[in-house]
Amino acid sequence: MRRLSLNAPMMQDDLVSDQIYVVLIEIDHPELPRPIRLSTDNADRIQADPPIYGTRSSWRGANPIADPYLWIVASAIGGQGPRPGPRSRSRPRTAAAA
């Protein structure tokens, strides 16, 4: 199995490179039994049936075998641009009768 380096600065200096950017995301909250780990790279087959892909990394103390970063499609996170801000719930002002 071929592993790609995640050394982005060296990759940026090369005009042509076979290395890719990988985004690792960790979501942790006191109400979660364990952190949720996500990756934009599907380089490793985590499970055969059903097939699950992801990235094995020790980033932020994760165990690469027991706690893999599961593959996601990055555009599902980013959305289609900025979301509108909160709407005002106040009533519009009306002119007082004279």
Q: Per the domain annotation, does 92 fall within a domain?
A: no
Q: Are 55 and 39 in contact (CB under 8 A)?
A: yes
Average pLDDT on 10-21 reads 64
Distance separating alpha carbons of residues 6 and 47, to the nearest angstrom: 23
Q: Per the domain annotation, does 32 fall within a domain?
A: yes
Domain housing 51: 20-78
3-state helix, strand, coil in the chain (%, to 5): 15, 20, 65
Residue 10 has pLDDT above 60, yes or no: no
- Provide the domain count of the chain: 1
Average pLDDT, the chain: 75
Residue 39 has pLDDT above 70, yes or no: yes
Residue 85 has pLDDT above 80, yes or no: no
Confidence label for 57 from pLDDT (cuts 50, 70 and 90): very high
**Which has the higher per-residue pLDDT, 62 or 93?**
62
Q: Are 69 and 62 in contact (CB under 8 A)?
A: yes
Q: Per the domain annotation, does 57 fall within a domain?
A: yes
Question: The whole model's pTM is what?
Answer: 0.58
